[in-house]
């Protein structure tokens, strides 16, 4: 600490401001020239500022990181190493299934393993910080960034958030293959109105606290070292200037002492929001809220000095922010070794290694959700002929948006996976149509249907292309594009032994497939080994392990649709078509097509009677809820046993059910196991009407069930 304090004392104000600046690598001087060109000028960067820039994002690989750091150290008068940050969202070079798919595994140990693998690859490429996990709760599948989240449930997101942070950081950051996690986007970015990216968020403190904050909090409690405020406004205040979020909650209530880094150009965007008139005012507001580093917008380098000279920002404020950055650098050992784990050789050895590919293959199978199966899956490996049709039959772009250094050419397509699985079968492929959203061309449909008709089995690979979800990629209509709907109709009519393989970054509205397809296996965007994982699942070498972390609606108009909604004063009690004067649609059910927690596999499970150890408890007591689950099918398999609760009457209305625990168990065929959950006062707490967390006495209902669709069958009381 003394070392850092001494260093701080030596720093000029410009050098301090440099530490609070993050730039794209393309803006840095690799050669020791003092030339500042257009893009740098636009951000108000002087040659001195560039020399003492504190951190970098978006750089190429180990070699380029090493060159940049070296050039920087030669220029920076105090030789303070830069921090290198990247969006390591679901892999680095080896790409794992998208986070929404990882949420569906309900397997935090597996998630942790995958994240650690990505951390190691990233560290070898010179990455010091991952802009991950993204823990925005998501309810609206129109939003493209749902693919980055682990879903619609606060409890599951919190467990996944912890797993991501532990996977990235472990408990021992001094090992160079672990990298700090940056929790984002704080807060409630996932509630963008109408699912349109960057759009307004407005919500009550109650909704914020109950649903949106728990996952960020869990990740911070797990030790995450950075936090990134979101782009959106909440109640009219942009997050990067939101004192309530960044000071009252994050720093004061939660005791977060790490680095807060703005999102890309978010400080400048405050002008565009209409929150400040000038960048100078923006810099002041962000500083006051406690944003330490500005990512790529130039307000800090241009105006912080002036603000200090005018006495609007104090030197103590600057020093606090700088110290947080220096402490992070010190924690990473950068003063001793500014290159840390970066090595072109290690990078090469690790990227898409056999070990990491095998882990992707396993994760993709565990994340895949079997939405429907009339018995066609798994296919027999004895089939003589296979037709693989649809725009994703040979597509290698199935790794998903935000895939860091990942490359399509590293990925295994479905056709490649099936060919490797069945080397002797006669395999034909036909694209049928494109995956473009606005395309109307159906001229290839007949040929694809013919191919399907002529084969023993057909695999229909449809869905959404990887660049149709992710940042900036909202959709107003999340049904299948017209040509893919026509293709599905024709192929399903041509061959009754057809399984649909769905590739998507979001839940899609696919009621027509739900009706007509004998089987639907949702692969999400499965990553580098997607095609091999699909082949394992299709031919029974693996069983689908996923349960939905986000509900699939019947129609886009249902969005946002989520299981933990309120009851309303007029709930729908009968068929939507005949009900009246109740909370319903005239043309669509209220419930989703496939609900949160739902997923089939190749065996079946039966749940016995749910037993409670008592029918009432005191606040310092507990109740054990248990159920015996039996594998009643013909194969071994995994089940996710889910605990749902409802607080029937409370000072603020509670949802119809809430996930409060889950256990993923593996049962051999015919095997039974008792699964138990402990309910304590903590399980029953919520953000109450008086603005405190706590439980309230009264009746609770409960279920131990295979999905959120199950009714709550048992009750108990809290005295
Ligand atoms: C903008 C995105 O919102 C954020 O998630 C990401 O980390 C930054 N850009 C940096 O790429």
8 A C-beta contact, residue 671 and residue 708: no
Residues 417, 531, single domain; the answer is: yes
| pLDDT-based confidence at residue 564 (cuts at 50, 70, 90) | very high
Atom of ligand 1 nearest to the CA of 231: 3
Q: Identify the pLDDT of residue 396.
A: 98
Q: Identify the pLDDT of residue 569.
A: 98
Cβ–ligand 1 distance for 401 under 6 Å, the answer no
Please give the average per-residue pLDDT across 136-151, as a whole number.
98
Q: Identify the pLDDT of residue 31.
A: 64
Residues 518, 609, single domain; the answer is: no
Residues 686, 616, single domain; the answer is: yes
Distance 399 CA to ligand 1 centre (A): 18
| pLDDT-based confidence at residue 45 (cuts at 50, 70, 90) | confident
Q: Is residue 176, in this structure, part of any structural domain at all?
A: no
Looking at residue 626, which CATH number applies to its domain? 2.60.40.10
pLDDT digits over 329-379, tens only? 999 999 999 999 999 999 999 999 999 999 999 999 999 999 999 999 999
Domain C-terminal end among 288, 313, 331: 331
Q: Is residue 677, in this structure, part of any structural domain at all?
A: yes
pLDDT digits over 630-674, tens only? 999 999 999 999 999 999 999 999 999 999 999 999 999 999 999
Q: Is residue 227, in this structure, part of any structural domain at all?
A: no
Whether pLDDT at 42 is above 90: no
| pLDDT-based confidence at residue 297 (cuts at 50, 70, 90) | confident
Domain C-terminal end among 512, 531, 547: 547
Residue 660 burial (CB count, 10 A)? 18
Give me Rg for the CA atoms of the chain: 26
Whether pLDDT at 34 is above 70: no
Cβ–ligand 1 distance for 136 under 6 Å, the answer no
Distance 184 CA to ligand 1 centre (A): 9
Which residue among 25, 131, 145, 238 is best mutated to probe the pocket of ligand 1, counting the most ligand atoms within 8 A of its Cβ?
Answer: 131
H/E stretch holding 448: helix 445-453
Q: Identify the pLDDT of residue 612.
A: 98
Q: Identify the pLDDT of residue 35.
A: 65
Q: What is the average pLDDT value for the chain, to the nearest integer?
A: 97
User: Is omega for the bond preceding 133 within 30 degrees of 0, making it cis?
Assistant: yes
| pLDDT-based confidence at residue 30 (cuts at 50, 70, 90) | low
Please give the average per-residue pLDDT across 470-485, as a whole number.
98
Residues 312, 371, single domain; the answer is: no
Q: Is residue 350, in this structure, part of any structural domain at all?
A: no
Q: Identify the pLDDT of residue 38.
A: 77
E strand spans, 339-477: 369-373, 385-389, 426-430, 457-463
pLDDT digits over 198-245, tens only? 999 999 999 999 999 999 999 999 999 999 999 999 999 999 999 999
Predicted TM-score of the model (pTM)? 0.98
Residues 495, 618, single domain; the answer is: no
Residues 390, 474, single domain; the answer is: yes
Residues 374, 522, single domain; the answer is: yes
| pLDDT-based confidence at residue 29 (cuts at 50, 70, 90) | low
Whether pLDDT at 289 is above 60: yes
Q: How many folded domains does the chain comprise?
A: 3
Nearest to 370 by CA among 30, 707, 24: 707
Residues 400, 539, single domain; the answer is: yes
Q: Is residue 437, in this structure, part of any structural domain at all?
A: yes
Whether pLDDT at 33 is above 60: no
Which residues constitute the domain of residue 674? 605-718
Q: Is residue 291, in this structure, part of any structural domain at all?
A: no
Between CA 317 and CA 249 the distance in angstroms is: 18
Residues 485, 610, single domain; the answer is: no
Whether pLDDT at 173 is above 80: no
Please give the average per-residue pLDDT across 137-145, as a whole number.
98
Between CA 676 and CA 438 the distance in angstroms is: 50
Cα 132–136–141 angle (5° rounding)? 115
pLDDT digits over 81-107, tens only? 999 999 999 999 999 999 999 999 999
Distance 264 CA to ligand 1 centre (A): 6
Residues 531, 386, single domain; the answer is: yes
Atom of ligand 1 nearest to the CA of 134: 5
Is 252 an annotated catalytic residue?
Answer: no
* CB neighbour list of residue 30: distance below 8 Å, 6 or more residues apart: 67, 68, 71
Q: Please give the structure tokens belonging to residue 3.
A: 């070392």
Three-state secondary-structure class, residue 162: helix
Q: Please give the structure tokens belonging to residue 670.
A: 């015919």
8 A C-beta contact, residue 189 and residue 201: yes
pLDDT digits over 50-86, tens only? 899 999 999 999 999 999 999 999 999 999 999 999 9
Distance 265 CA to ligand 1 centre (A): 10
Q: How far is CA 597 from CA 138, 152, 352, 370, 508, in A?
A: 15, 10, 31, 12, 16
| pLDDT-based confidence at residue 507 (cuts at 50, 70, 90) | very high
**Residue 459 phi, psi dihedral angles, 5° rounding:** -120, 115
Q: Is residue 375, in this structure, part of any structural domain at all?
A: yes
Residues 397, 452, single domain; the answer is: yes
Please give the average per-residue pLDDT across 34-50, as a whole number.
79
| pLDDT-based confidence at residue 411 (cuts at 50, 70, 90) | very high
Whether pLDDT at 32 is above 60: no
Cα 502–505–509 angle (5° rounding)? 60
Q: Identify the pLDDT of residue 416.
A: 98
Q: Is residue 529, in this structure, part of any structural domain at all?
A: yes
What secondary structure, in 3-state letters, does 320-362 show?
HHHHHHHHHHHHCCCCCCCCCCCCHHHHHHHCCCHHHHHHHHH
| pLDDT-based confidence at residue 287 (cuts at 50, 70, 90) | very high
Q: Identify the pLDDT of residue 40.
A: 82
| pLDDT-based confidence at residue 151 (cuts at 50, 70, 90) | very high
Token look-up 């759009």 returns: 199
Q: Please give the structure tokens belonging to residue 602.
A: 């190749």
Whether pLDDT at 44 is above 90: no
Residues 513, 633, single domain; the answer is: no
- Which residue in the list 136, 263, 279, 292 is annotated as catalytic? 263
């Amino acid at each position: 600490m003394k070392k850092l304090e001494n260093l701080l004392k030596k720093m000029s104000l410009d050098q301090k401001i440099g530490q609070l600046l993050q730039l794209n690598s393309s803006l840095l001087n690799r050669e020791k020239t003092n030339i500042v060109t257009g893009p740098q000028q636009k951000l108000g960067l002087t040659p001195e500022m560039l020399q003492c820039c504190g951190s970098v994002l978006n750089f190429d690989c180990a070699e380029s990181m090493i060159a940049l750091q070296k050039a920087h150290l030669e220029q920076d008068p105090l030789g303070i190493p830069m921090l290198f940050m990247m969006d390591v969202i679901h892999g680095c070079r080896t790409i794992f299934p998208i986070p929404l798919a990882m949420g569906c595994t309900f397997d935090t140990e597996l998630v942790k393993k995958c994240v650690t693998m990505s951390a190691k690859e990233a560290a070898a490429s010179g990455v010091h910080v991952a802009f991950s996990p993204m823990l925005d709760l998501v309810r609206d599948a129109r939003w493209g960034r749902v693919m980055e989240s682990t879903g619609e449930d606060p409890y599951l997101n919190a467990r996944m958030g912890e797993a991501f942070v532990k996977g990235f950081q472990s408990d021992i950051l001094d090992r160079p293959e672990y990298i700090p996690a940056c929790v984002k986007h704080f807060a409630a970015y996932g509630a963008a109105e109408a699912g349109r990216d960057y759009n307004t968020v407005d919500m009550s403190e109650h909704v914020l606290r109950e649903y949106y904050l728990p996952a960020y909090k869990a990740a911070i409690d797990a030790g995450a070292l950075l936090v990134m405020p979101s782009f959106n406004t909440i109640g009219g205040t942009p997050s990067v200037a939101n004192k309530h979020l960044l000071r009252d909650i994050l720093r004061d209530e939660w005791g977060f002492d790490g680095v807060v880094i703005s999102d890309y150009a978010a400080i400048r965007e405050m002008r565009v929001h209409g929150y400040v008139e000038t960048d100078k005012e923006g810099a002041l507001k962000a500083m006051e809220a406690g944003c330490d580093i500005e990512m790529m917008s130039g307000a800090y380098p241009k105006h912080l000095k002036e603000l200090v000279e005018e006495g609007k920002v104090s030197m103590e404020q600057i020093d606090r922010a700088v110290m947080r950055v220096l402490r992070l650098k010190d924690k990473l050992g950068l003063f001793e070794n500014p290159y840390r784990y970066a090595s072109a050789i290690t990078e090469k050895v690790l990227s898409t290694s056999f070990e990491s590919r095998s882990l992707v293959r396993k994760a993709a199978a565990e994340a895949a959700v079997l939405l429907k199966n009339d018995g066609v899956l798994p296919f027999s490996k004895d089939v003589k002929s296979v037709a693989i049709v649809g725009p994703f039959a040979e597509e290698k772009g199935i790794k998903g948006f935000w895939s860091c250094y990942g490359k399509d050419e590293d990925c295994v397509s479905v056709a490649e996976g099936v060919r490797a699985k069945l080397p002797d079968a006669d395999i034909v492929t036909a694209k049928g149509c494109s995956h473009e959203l606005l395309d109307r061309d159906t001229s290839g449909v007949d040929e694809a249907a013919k191919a399907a008709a002529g084969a023993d089995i057909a695999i229909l690979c449809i869905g959404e292309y990887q660049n149709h979800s992710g940042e900036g990629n909202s959709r107003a209509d999340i049904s299948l594009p017209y040509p893919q709907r026509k293709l599905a109709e024709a192929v399903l009519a041509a061959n009754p032994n057809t399984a649909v393989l769905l590739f998507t970054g979001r839940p899609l509205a696919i009621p027509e497939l739900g009706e007509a397809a004998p089987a639907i296996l949702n692969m999400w965007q499965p990553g580098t080994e997607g095609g091999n994982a699909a082949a394992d699942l299709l031919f029974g070498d693996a069983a689908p392990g996923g349960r939905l972390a986000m509900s699939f609606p019947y129609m886009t108009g249902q969005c946002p649709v989520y299981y933990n909604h309120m009851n309303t004063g007029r709930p729908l009690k009968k068929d939507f078509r005949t009900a009246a004067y109740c909370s319903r649609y005239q043309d669509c059910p209220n419930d989703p097509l496939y609900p949160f927690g739902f997923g089939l596999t190749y065996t079946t499970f039966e749940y016995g009677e749910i037993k409670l150890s008592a029918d009432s408890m005191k606040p310092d007591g507990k109740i054990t809820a248990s159920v015996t689950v039996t594998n009643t099918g013909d194969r071994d398999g995994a089940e996710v046993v889910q605990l749902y609760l409802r607080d029937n009457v409370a000072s603020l209305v509670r949802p119809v059910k809430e996930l409060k625990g889950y256990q993923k168990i593996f049962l051999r065929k015919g095997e039974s196991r008792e699964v138990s959950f402990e309910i304590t006062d903590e399980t029953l707490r919520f953000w109450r009407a008086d603005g405190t967390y706590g439980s309230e006495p009264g009746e609770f209902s409960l279920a131990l069930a295979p999905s959120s669709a199950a009714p709550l069958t048992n009750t108990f009381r809290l005295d």
